[in-house]
Amino acid sequence: MGAFSFKSSGVTRADSVANALAKTAVPIGIVTPLSLGTTELLKTSTDLSTQVGDNLRNLLLTNHGERVCLYDFGGNLRPLLSELVSLDDFDSQAFDRIRSAVSRWMPYVELEDFLSEVDQSTTGPLAAIDVTITYNIPSLNVRSKRIRVKLRAM
């Protein structure tokens, strides 16, 4: 009769579970702007730092009163465009609004740098400003990540 060793007969249960988890990326959140996904209905992000960046972009582009049941959610930056007297005044007010919104709604994000530029490509009386923010996420060891949003007066 022949000898048979079970040690070489396959993969252990723990290894098969670990392999399944390693191959399948767990969705963390829905990416905006909304688009159709390949395996899910909507495109999702699986990287935490990417999702934090997307959430920060949404926070900056949201104005007070636009989020249901959370009136004061958002950076509330669009009203500043109609009140724009000088770029220096815009910078200080916008930075204060961004800093207070991030400290309240996303305290795990550290703001590092703020830069605003008037978008010269727009025509007509409507103002458009590009805002670039450099931020850190210390808990994820993410340093000097940048996000750029375009603000337009409506």
Across 69-97, average pLDDT: 84
> Which domains are assigned to the chain?
77-152 (3.10.450.40)
| Distances, alpha carbon 96 to alpha carbons 31, 36, 58, 138, in Å | 27, 36, 17, 21
Q: Taking a C-beta distance cutoff of 8 angstroms, is the pair 78, 57 a contact?
A: no
pLDDT over threshold 70, residue 17 = no
pLDDT over threshold 60, residue 88 = yes
Across 37-52, average pLDDT: 89
